[in-house]
Chain A
Amino acid sequence: MLEILTQSPHFYDYVTAAVLLLGVFNVAEVLFLLWNKARVERSEVKRQNLKRLASTALITATDPAELLPRPIKEEEFAAYSEAIASVLDSFEGEIAVKAVKLISDLGIDDHYRRLARHRVWYKRGNAIDILSSFRLKSNREFFLAVFRSEPALDVRYRIIYGLSRLAREHADIRALARLLSGLPYLTAKYTEDIFYNIITSLKASGSEAEFGIFMREIMHDKTVLNLVKRDCITACYAAGCERGRGLLREYYAAFPGEPEILISAVKALARVGDFSVTAEALKNPDWRVRLAALKHAHLCCMDMLPEIRAMLNDPSYHVRLNAALALAKGDNKCRVALREAAAGPDAFAASAAAYALTQEAA
């Protein structure tokens, strides 16, 4: 076989060419590495300087666009956009207005809008991320237009994220919910983040009640996944929705067979200081719901001492342990019960109680 190869007239010519090519390629690779290193170092310094300059100009100058050189290269756009996004995150009022004006004055939004239609999906995704960080109302229509023609799911999820930061009214929430339901469910945290953004945007514009109306609308809507409903509740928990207590209680009552929703409701209510469902949740057949309730039991349910004491014998390890910890945080009667359990015949209950007592002592 090898003979067939080696006896072909140009075999050695080809191999020699391959060896030479590889040698040249290796040298070129090393030279490129060194050149690239110098280039990146220069560009990093330039980027840092531009960022500093842009941030200073935004804070001190009346018209920053007059002071700043117009961006041409990608790194310059990136430096400006990072500086502007960080200013928008930290300032409101006049400085924020100047930052928004600078985006259009320097053509940054146009640049990233062009990039949002790039043929490579991750470049489009990056451009959408940057545009989202500006939170420009004017991008709303653009995002919706790009969403309609965008083929990559990853980018579509990013567009929805960007839109969620711009929600102002009921129609926006409905539109976002429609867009979300058109895509496969991604993750709990993603959906929660979307609704969290919506709530914080609504809170900022004083229209938090709009979200309540939306949640009431979807409560019995079969086309909306229960997972999405759960994520809405978790977003309320994260955003600390004070005014949603009644609604959260309604959710708790409406989904008795959905432990995920019950857990979210128990947690969200507890965060705003409402323990009205905790006692009931302690008796739930699902151990995860009991566990969620136990985390707050010491704040509201110490009159349920016998029930919590009985949970020291629960089949679930987590429930036993947290029941003991809840008792350890309670009054003297609770600690007496705990000491009895520590000396009791049930080894599982005894070990949980002993642990809680040492924790309490520590």
Chain B
Amino acid sequence: MKLFLLWIAVHASQYVVFLYFLVVNSVYTALIFLALRDIVRHAYLTTSRVARRQLASEFYFKPVSVIVPAHNEAAVITQSVQALLNLHYPEFEVIVVNDGSTDDTLERLRLDFSLQSCAKPVRLQVPHEAIRGVYRSAAYSHLIVVDKVNGGKADAINAGINVSSYPIFCSIDADSLLEPDALLKSSKLFLEDDELIATGGIIRILNGCKVQDGSVTEIGLPRGFLEAMQVLEYTRAFLSGRTGWNALKSLLIISGAFGVFRKDMVVAVNGYRKTVGEDMDLVMRLHRHCRDRAIPYKILFVPDPVCWTQAPFSLRMLLKQRNRWHRGMIDALLANRVMILNRKYGATSLIGISYFVFVEFLGPLIELFGYVSIPILYYFGMLNERFFVMLVLLAVFWGISINIGAVFLDIYNFRRYKKTSDILRLCVLSAAEFFGYRQIMLLERLVATVTFRKKDWGTQDRRVFEKKGTTV
């Protein structure tokens, strides 16, 4: 009887793995087609005429507070802030929140921007750790620096929200660079649609690019395999993933590296929650808040405002980052578990959250199960070798199609990578991903699944943006 049950279980598991493979790849393929439609439409409607009209009109904007949480960012903070101060935008303030750095981040800011103590009363709308001081730059009146006790990224952004003066805020990582028109492109959406409560632009990898005066002057694919592979991953995640979810009205993540929010809505959900996946958690709570109260709302991803960010350049850092992302996702799903398969939350729950639960959370477990079952089935002579070989070939070729499809979306519409060699390398990486890289990432996600209760962020090494004549 036991053997029979085992036989049934083994056969059923093969079916589950096969079905999982079909469903996941079909979802990715569908997302690419949805994204293509959305991106082409967006490209048509966001003509240069429209942008010119908006730039020309000094009344066509809402003032924005740019919040930069910074913890031990001394290596990049000056250039990053300098780049933000050069943004093309009629009225904005930059709020750098020094989140209890143990390096000389604050000192660097104090010296480079002539900071002076300022007694600005802070309105406590969302919770955060104690603020030690607020400073304003004597050189740039729209630069404010907040020095506070360490409490994590979410806590730092909350402090920034309380200090901010404007109705819209943009959160951006200290190691990231916004393109000069990125803020204009993303915040204009708030004028075009009163229901919009949050939006995010695309995050691109800064590694391999040349930076001058806080702006990316030459775009190139990084030389390192890991960094170049991340370019492919980001392209896939943003252009096919988020644009596709956008079309399905199920966007659940606005990247913590660059997101623009309506402050009143974020305050209404009590700001960011202290967790490693604070970006996804916030978006999920915004969905919940609006659905629970029948508030008409929109959360959108737009593919053309660009934020350049540094990607990890060593395997150790990369694994740490992926581990954190996966733990963050699990934590956000757990904290908002009421939304799972709940019709009250509409497409967000039934499509978006279901995808995260069944593909992103359970996927690594099913994939691992698939890998483990192969030698076991082979040992017991239950492996259909021909079927196995065909399945592997199908998986790899389909996966490559999905990857090249994402590259296609980027090169066809945005043409950021202009060198033929870069395009060809991205296509080669589309295939290379399946031989080692994917499996290593899978293992790290499994580790994260087991250790999801850990709350630490870890530290990331940074490269200085600009060194004369070199790329990042």
Report A-chain residues with C-beta under 8 Å of the C-beta of B1.
none
Report A-chain residues with C-beta under 8 Å of the C-beta of B44.
122-123, 125-126
Q: A15-B390, A123-B44, A362-B138 are in contact. Are A33 and B49 (CB under 8 A)?
A: no
Binds B, one of A185-193, A211-219, A241-249, A296-304: A185-193
Give Cα distance in the complex from A313 to B15, angstroms: 70
Q: A19-B397, A188-B194 are in contact. Are A34 and B49 (CB under 8 A)?
A: no
Contact for A348 among B50, B117, B121, CB less than 8 A: B121
Report B-chain residues with C-beta under 8 Å of the C-beta of A122.
41, 44-45
A-B contact count (CB 8 A): 120
Do B394 and A19 touch (CB < 8 A)?
Answer: yes
Residue A139 lies at the interface, judged by CB distance under 8 Å to chain B: no
Residue B273 lies at the interface, judged by CB distance under 8 Å to chain A: no
Binds B, one of A23-31, A52-60, A106-114: A23-31
Report A-chain residues with C-beta under 8 Å of the C-beta of B121.
317, 320-321, 348, 351-352, 355
Q: Which A35-64 residues have C-beta < 8 A from chain B? A: 36-37, 40
Residue A16 lies at the interface, judged by CB distance under 8 Å to chain B: yes
* Chain B proximity mask over A321-351: 1 for CB below 8 Å, otherwise 0: 1000000000000000000000000001001
Residue A130 lies at the interface, judged by CB distance under 8 Å to chain B: yes
How far is the CB of B222 from the nearest CB of chain A, in Å?
20
How far is the CB of A170 from the nearest CB of chain B, in Å?
25
Do B411 and A129 touch (CB < 8 A)?
Answer: no
Residue A1 lies at the interface, judged by CB distance under 8 Å to chain B: yes
Do A6 and B387 touch (CB < 8 A)?
Answer: yes
Residue B60 lies at the interface, judged by CB distance under 8 Å to chain A: yes
Do B120 and A187 touch (CB < 8 A)?
Answer: no
How far is the CB of B249 from the nearest CB of chain A, in Å?
17
Binds A, one of B92-100, B176-184, B342-350, B402-410: B402-410
Residue B119 lies at the interface, judged by CB distance under 8 Å to chain A: yes
Contact for A29 among B138, B398, B404, CB less than 8 A: B404
- Smallest Cβ-Cβ distance to B195: which chain A residue: A187
Report B-chain residues with C-beta under 8 Å of the C-beta of A359.
118
Give Cα distance in the complex from A110 to B14, angstroms: 61
Report A-chain residues with C-beta under 8 Å of the C-beta of B405.
29
Contact for A36 among B123, B412, B424, CB less than 8 A: B412
Do A362 and B136 touch (CB < 8 A)?
Answer: yes
Give Cα distance in the complex from A192 to B387, angstroms: 64
- Smallest Cβ-Cβ distance to A239: which chain B residue: B59
Contact for A37 among B18, B47, B60, B423, CB less than 8 A: B423
Residue B292 lies at the interface, judged by CB distance under 8 Å to chain A: no
* Chain A proximity mask over B386-424: 1 for CB below 8 Å, otherwise 0: 110010011001101100110110011001001010011
Residue A238 lies at the interface, judged by CB distance under 8 Å to chain B: yes
Q: A29-B408, A30-B404 are in contact. Are A37 and B390 (CB under 8 A)?
A: no
Report B-chain residues with C-beta under 8 Å of the C-beta of A223.
none
Give Cα distance in the complex from A357 to B118, angstroms: 10
- Smallest Cβ-Cβ distance to A125: which chain B residue: B45
Give Cα distance in the complex from A192 to B192, angstroms: 11
Do B11 and A2 touch (CB < 8 A)?
Answer: yes
Residue B193 lies at the interface, judged by CB distance under 8 Å to chain A: yes
Interface size class of B (residues with CB under 8 A): 35 or more
Residue A354 lies at the interface, judged by CB distance under 8 Å to chain B: yes
Q: Which B256-296 residues have C-beta < 8 A from chain A? A: none
Contact for A30 among B50, B116, B194, B427, CB less than 8 A: B427
Do A34 and B390 touch (CB < 8 A)?
Answer: no
Residue A85 lies at the interface, judged by CB distance under 8 Å to chain B: yes
Residue B384 lies at the interface, judged by CB distance under 8 Å to chain A: yes
Report B-chain residues with C-beta under 8 Å of the C-beta of A190.
191-192
Do B393 and A19 touch (CB < 8 A)?
Answer: yes
Residue A196 lies at the interface, judged by CB distance under 8 Å to chain B: yes
Q: A82-B48, A126-B44 are in contact. Are A22 and B397 (CB under 8 A)?
A: yes
How far is the CB of B167 from the nearest CB of chain A, in Å?
11
Do A26 and B400 touch (CB < 8 A)?
Answer: yes
- Smallest Cβ-Cβ distance to A324: which chain B residue: B121
Residue A142 lies at the interface, judged by CB distance under 8 Å to chain B: no
How far is the CB of B59 from the nearest CB of chain A, in Å?
4
Contact for B119 among A30, A189, A354, CB less than 8 A: A354
Do B11 and A1 touch (CB < 8 A)?
Answer: yes
Residue A284 lies at the interface, judged by CB distance under 8 Å to chain B: no
Give Cα distance in the complex from A190 to B118, angstroms: 38
Give the 9 A-B residue pairs with the shortest CB-CB distance, closest first: A22-B397, A351-B121, A189-B191, A238-B59, A354-B119, A15-B390, A122-B44, A355-B119, A317-B123
List B residues at the A interface (Cβ < 8 Å): 11-12, 14-15, 18, 41, 44-45, 47-50, 57, 59-60, 116-121, 123, 136, 138, 191-194, 384, 386-387, 390, 393-394, 397-398, 400-401, 404-405, 407-408, 411-412, 415, 418, 420, 423-424, 427
List A residues at the B interface (Cβ < 8 Å): 1-2, 6, 12, 15-16, 18-19, 22-23, 25-26, 29-30, 32-34, 36-37, 40, 82, 85, 122-123, 125-126, 129-130, 133, 154, 186-190, 192-193, 196, 237-238, 317, 320-321, 348, 351-352, 354-355, 357-359, 362
Given contacts A23-B397, A362-B116, 12 further A-B contacts (CB under 8 A): A1-B12, A2-B11, A2-B14, A6-B384, A19-B390, A19-B393, A19-B397, A22-B394, A30-B404, A32-B408, A34-B420, A237-B59
16 CB-based A-B contacts, threshold 8 Å: A2-B18, A2-B384, A6-B386, A15-B390, A25-B401, A33-B404, A37-B418, A82-B48, A122-B41, A122-B45, A126-B44, A130-B49, A238-B59, A354-B119, A358-B118, A362-B116
